[in-house]
């Protein structure tokens, strides 16, 4: 399994074929047949990426644009590109979506069975039915920036699956911990586990996992860690979710949601937040993340909001601020 990168990287798309190459990395997964991907463009940059079902477009294309209007406006989109994942006899729906678009449509493409066709280019630069390469300079740059995309949207759920029953049962036997750790001790345990994963994932013993799950039950500790969006945070939350028994899943799954959203993977963020809500339907931070994904809020806005929240935690808990090393955003 791969993980998105923790830092922003600019990847230049110079050819129409580069759009098709980039889409799975932008979404985090390869679109299923019957998908239409809408790329919102701002000053020749991809500002937002959305996947819609062709069946929904058939039902009411103007309603589809109405639903996308807010996110496209928030991203200051000036034009769009459309890519339909379907056979040739179904491609009219892409033209229907283009004809009802409230914004200029600069490019339309079709993808089917590993090949792509431009629906707008009339020059020899876009030969029809070209294979989609997986070994181009754009691929290399995107893999370095975001990791390899998942085969399908559903396969992203693999990051949320529990570990072996014996492990989860052993962790459950340690919970709740008595006595409960203080807020300072709980944060120290989470911070140490985070630091330990700088170079990759590490298995957790039942005792370690129960301590960390108990630590995240302290909302102050959870909030103090909510601004982390580096690789170590990714590994920590995915490691911890594997160990979590029912009733203890929500905090770790929600932190995976905030981490992945800040890293630009709104699809996995939504799945992780929904996973948290299945464990605890009233978990407010998970509800917030779902709302952010529905509104297509830019990851940068969430990073800024969480940065402020972490600073507030530090100001309200001076002893915790000392443990955070004076840099709440680290």
More confident residue, 42 or 234: 234
CA distance 214 to 221: 10
Dmax (CA) of the chain:
72
Our count of domains for the chain comes to 2
pLDDT of amino acid 129: 79
Could you say which of 150, 181, 214 is where a domain stops?
150
Same domain for 204 and 313: yes
The token duo for 208 is 């370690």
Contact 223, 313 (CB under 8 A): yes
Q: What is the full DSSP assignment across 280-292? A: -TT-HHHHHHHHH
pLDDT of amino acid 145: 45
Same domain for 283 and 171: yes
pLDDT of amino acid 185: 93
CA distance 19 to 143: 15
Answer whether residue 231 is part of any domain. yes
Answer whether residue 245 is part of any domain. yes
What rounded mean pLDDT belongs to the chain?
Answer: 83
Same domain for 168 and 118: no
Q: What is the full DSSP assignment across 135-157? A: SSHHHHHHHHHH-PPBSSTGGGG
CA distance 64 to 52: 8
Contact 253, 245 (CB under 8 A): no
Same domain for 241 and 123: no
Same domain for 276 and 213: yes
Same domain for 285 and 177: yes
The token duo for 179 is 């006595």
Answer whether residue 234 is part of any domain. yes
CATH of the domain at 92: 3.40.140
pLDDT in tens, 112-159: 988 999 888 766 667 777 887 665 554 434 444 445 566 666 666 777
pLDDT of amino acid 134: 63
The token duo for 199 is 């170079």
Same domain for 146 and 41: yes
Same domain for 273 and 194: yes
Could you say which of 127, 150, 173 is where a domain stops?
150
More confident residue, 266 or 205: 205
**Strand-strand pairing, 130-131 and 105-112:** unpaired
Same domain for 230 and 166: yes
Query: Residue 13: pLDDT above 60?
Result: no
Answer whether residue 246 is part of any domain. yes
Same domain for 139 and 184: no
Could you say which of 150, 175, 200 is where a domain stops?
150
Angle (CA) 133 138 142, round 5°: 110
pLDDT in tens, 216-275: 999 999 999 998 988 899 999 999 999 999 999 999 999 999 998 888 778 888 899 999
Answer whether residue 10 is part of any domain. no
pLDDT in tens, 99-120: 999 999 999 999 998 899 988 8
Same domain for 265 and 187: yes
Share of the chain above pLDDT 90, in %: 44
pLDDT in tens, 14-39: 567 778 888 887 787 888 899 999 98
Half-sphere exposure of 145 (CA within 13 A, CB side): 18
Note if the pTM is more than 0.85: no
Domain residue limits at 76 = 16-150
Same domain for 180 and 106: no
Answer whether residue 3 is part of any domain. no
């Amino acid at each position: 399994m791969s993980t998105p990168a923790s830092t922003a990287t600019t990847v230049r798309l110079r050819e129409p074929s580069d759009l098709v190459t980039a889409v799975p990395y932008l979404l985090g997964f390869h679109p299923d047949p019957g998908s239409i991907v809408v790329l919102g463009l701002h000053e020749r940059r991809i500002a937002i990426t959305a996947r819609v079902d062709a069946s929904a477009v058939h039902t009411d294309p103007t309603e589809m644009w109405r639903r996308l209007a807010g996110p496209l406006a928030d991203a200051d989109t000036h034009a769009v590109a459309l890519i339909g994942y379907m056979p040739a006899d179904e491609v009219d729906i892409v033209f229907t979506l283009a004809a009802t678009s409230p914004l200029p449509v600069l490019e339309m493409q079709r993808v089917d069975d590993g090949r792509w066709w431009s629906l707008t280019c009339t020059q020899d630069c876009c030969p029809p039915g070209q294979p989609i390469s997986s070994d181009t300079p754009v691929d290399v740059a995107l893999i370095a920036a975001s990791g390899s995309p998942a085969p399908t949207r559903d396969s992203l759920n693999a990051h949320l699956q529990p570990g072996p029953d014996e492990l989860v049962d052993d962790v459950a036997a340690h919970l709740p911990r008595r006595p409960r750790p203080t807020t300072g001790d709980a944060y120290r345990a989470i911070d140490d586990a985070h630091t330990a994963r700088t170079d990759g994932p590490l298995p957790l013993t039942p005792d370690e996992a129960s301590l960390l799950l108990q630590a995240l039950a302290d909302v102050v500790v959870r909030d103090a860690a909510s601004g982390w969006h580096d690789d170590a945070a990714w590994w920590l939350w995915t490691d911890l979710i594997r160990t979590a028994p029912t009733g203890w899943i929500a905090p770790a799954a929600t932190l995976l949601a905030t981490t992945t959203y800040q890293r630009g993977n709104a699809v996995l963020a939504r799945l992780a937040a929904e996973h948290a809500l299945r464990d605890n339907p009233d978990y407010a931070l998970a509800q917030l993340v779902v709302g952010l994904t529905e509104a297509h809020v830019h990851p940068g806005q969430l990073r800024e909001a969480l940065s402020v929240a972490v600073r507030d935690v530090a100001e309200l808990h001076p002893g915790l601020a000392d443990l955070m090393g004076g840099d709440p955003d680290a």
